[in-house]
């Protein structure tokens, strides 16, 4: 399959954030119009610069529904920012439909539609005008864009709001408007940055249906999310990223098979978990155990039945258990095993 998107050794380093005493400047890296300021990630050289991406190689196929999964600060928004020509890579290359995002940004913009993390409609225009003007920015005449806009509003169940002010819409409706806007010029590739954050469960499910439909139409979809379930249910392939690096890349099924065996039992103790981890490892039913600060991660082949012996070991060591959680083998357990942290 041909690559719709290709990145090679993609790297982004943001300059040092302003010192706290310069209170006038907005925090975060510059130029992040749309979405949360990127990222994060690992600071080097005593916190001077922020390395958001550390040499990302990705190949996303034509017509693929591709998920970028990772916690806040993983570099997802920066990746989307670069691929949508809004963030300039520090080094490396990124091609969308064969056009270089840095040197041929106009051609890239011609073929993409973008749904931002937070709805950013033009609030000076009404709902329909938002769509018609966006189409006009792509050189599409009203005779073409008006029927298309009406059809999209209908499809997204916001037709009754066509002449409403954007501020009169709920968050979910505004997010649908963003999807309609991203589709009005019938782009080849659609980028969605955390499209369901802050939506109620019902709206989220209906957005999933819309995304499945778009995928069915043969469009390439790139979506960032930090919801495991969302990535699992929608994506053909998922890239797990953390701290600017690609950790895993495969189909959801293959990734789940790669998850460490057993139920993950996470136990928070009152002291240092490392003091008891060796004794926990020797317990029956424990496949693997790791300690990180006050968190004890136990992979059990007996489900929750290892909990009471583990508690006994912890209390024997003079500490107490403050929290317990169980997770079945899943993308989440794979993620925790690879990164040492949870997504949320």
Partner 1 sequence: MTAATSTSELHPARASSVFFALLRRDVRVARKELAFFLLRTTMQPLLFLVVFGYLLPKMNFLGKGYQTALLPGILAVSLSLSAIQSVALPMVQDFGWTKEIEDRLLAPVPTGLIAAEKIVAGMIQGVIAAAFVLPIARLVMGPIPALTLSHAGEVLLVGILGSMAFSSLGMWLGTAIAPQQIGLMFSVIIAPMLFFGCAYYPWRGLDVVPVMKYLVLVNPMVYVAEGMRAALTPSVPHMPLSVVGVALLIVVAVFWTLGMRSFHKRAIG
- Point out which residues bind partner 1 (CB under 8 A): 14, 23-26, 29-34, 38, 62-63, 81, 84-88, 105-107, 109-112, 114, 116, 118, 120-125, 129-130, 133-134, 136-140, 144, 181, 185-188, 217-220
Q: How far is the CB of 48 from partner 1 (least distance, A)?
A: 18
User: By C-beta, is 177 or 255 nearer to partner 1?
Assistant: 177
Q: How far is the CB of 218 from partner 1 (least distance, A)?
A: 4
User: By C-beta, is 52 or 336 nearer to partner 1?
Assistant: 52
User: By C-beta, is 90 or 275 nearer to partner 1?
Assistant: 90
Report CA-CA distances (Å) from 27 to 53, 69, 236, 308. Answer: 19, 25, 36, 46
Q: Compute the distance between CA of residue 105 and CA of residue 85 in angstroms, rounded to an integer.
A: 6
Angle value at C-alpha 80, between 76 and 86, nearest 5 degrees: 130
Per-residue three-class SS string for the chain: CCEEEEEEEEEEEECCCCCCCCCCCCCCCCCCCCCCCCCCCEEECCCCEEEEEEEEEEEEECCCEEEEECCCCCCHHHHHHHHCCCCCCCEEEEEECCEECCCCHHHHHHCEEEECCCCCCCCCCEHHHHHHHHHHHCCCCHHHHHHHHHHHHHHCCCHHHCCCEHHHCCHHHHHHHHHHHHHCCCCCEEEEECCCCCCCHHHHHHHHHHHHHHHHCCCEEEEEECCHHHHHHHCCEEEEEECCEEEEEECHHHHHHHCCCCEEEEEEECCCCHHHHHHHHCCCCEEEEEEECCEEEEEECCHHHHHHHHHHHHHHCCCCEEEEEEECCCHHHHHHHHHCCCCC
Q: How far is the CB of 226 from partner 1 (least distance, A)?
A: 21
Report CA-CA distances (Å) from 43 to 16, 20, 27, 53. Answer: 9, 16, 15, 11
Q: How far is the CB of 246 from partner 1 (least distance, A)?
A: 21
Q: How far is the CB of 321 from partner 1 (least distance, A)?
A: 45
Q: How far is the CB of 223 from partner 1 (least distance, A)?
A: 16
User: By C-beta, is 4 or 246 nearer to partner 1?
Assistant: 4
User: By C-beta, is 33 or 254 nearer to partner 1?
Assistant: 33
User: By C-beta, is 103 or 202 nearer to partner 1?
Assistant: 103
User: By C-beta, is 78 or 300 nearer to partner 1?
Assistant: 78
Q: How far is the CB of 33 from partner 1 (least distance, A)?
A: 4
Q: Compute the distance between CA of residue 109 and CA of residue 88 in angstroms, rounded to an integer.
A: 14
Q: How far is the CB of 129 from partner 1 (least distance, A)?
A: 7
Q: How far is the CB of 54 from partner 1 (least distance, A)?
A: 17
User: By C-beta, is 67 or 116 nearer to partner 1?
Assistant: 116
User: By C-beta, is 54 or 219 nearer to partner 1?
Assistant: 219
Q: Compute the distance between CA of residue 68 and CA of residue 222 in angstroms, rounded to an integer.
A: 7
């Amino acid at each position: 399959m041909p690559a719709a998107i290709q990145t090679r050794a993609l790297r982004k380093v943001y300059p040092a954030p302003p010192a706290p005493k310069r209170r006038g400047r907005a925090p975060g890296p510059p130029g992040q119009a749309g979405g949360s300021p990127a990222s994060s990630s690992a600071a080097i050289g005593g916190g001077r610069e922020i390395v958001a991406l550390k040499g990302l190689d990705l190949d996303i196929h034509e017509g693929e529904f591709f998920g970028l999964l990772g916690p806040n600060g993983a570099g997802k928004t920066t990746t989307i920012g670069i691929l949508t020509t809004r963030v300039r890579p520090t080094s490396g290359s990124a091609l969308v439909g064969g056009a270089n995002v840095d040197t041929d940004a106009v051609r890239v913009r011609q073929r993409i539609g973008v749904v931002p993390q937070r709805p950013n409609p033009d609030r000076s225009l009404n709902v329909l005008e938002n769509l018609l003007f966006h189409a006009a920015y792509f050189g599409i005449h009203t005779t073409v864009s008006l029927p298309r806009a009406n059809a999209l509003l209908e499809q997204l169940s916001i037709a009754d709001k066509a002449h409403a002010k954007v501020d009169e819409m709920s968050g979910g409706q505004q997010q649908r408007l963003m999807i309609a806007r991203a589709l009005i010029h019938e782009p080849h590739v659609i980028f969605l940055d955390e499209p369901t954050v802050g939506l109620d469960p019902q709206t989220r499910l209906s957005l999933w249906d819309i995304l499945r439909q778009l995928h069915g139409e043969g469009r390439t979809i790139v979506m960032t999310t930090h919801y495991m379930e969302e990535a699992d249910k929608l994506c053909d392939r998922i890239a797990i990223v953390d701290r600017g690096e690609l950790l895993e890349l495969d189909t959801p099924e293959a990734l789940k098979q790669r998850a460490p065996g057993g139920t993950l039992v996470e136990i928070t103790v009152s002291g240092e978990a490392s003091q008891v981890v060796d004794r926990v490892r020797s317990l029956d039913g424990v496949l693997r155990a790791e300690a990180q600060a006050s968190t004890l991660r136990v992979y059990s082949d007996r489900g929750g039945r290892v909990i009471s012996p583990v508690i006994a070991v912890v209390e024997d060591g003079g500490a107490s258990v403050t929290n317990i959680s169980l997770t079945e083998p899943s993308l989440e357990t794979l993620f925790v095993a690879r990164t040492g942290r949870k997504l949320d």
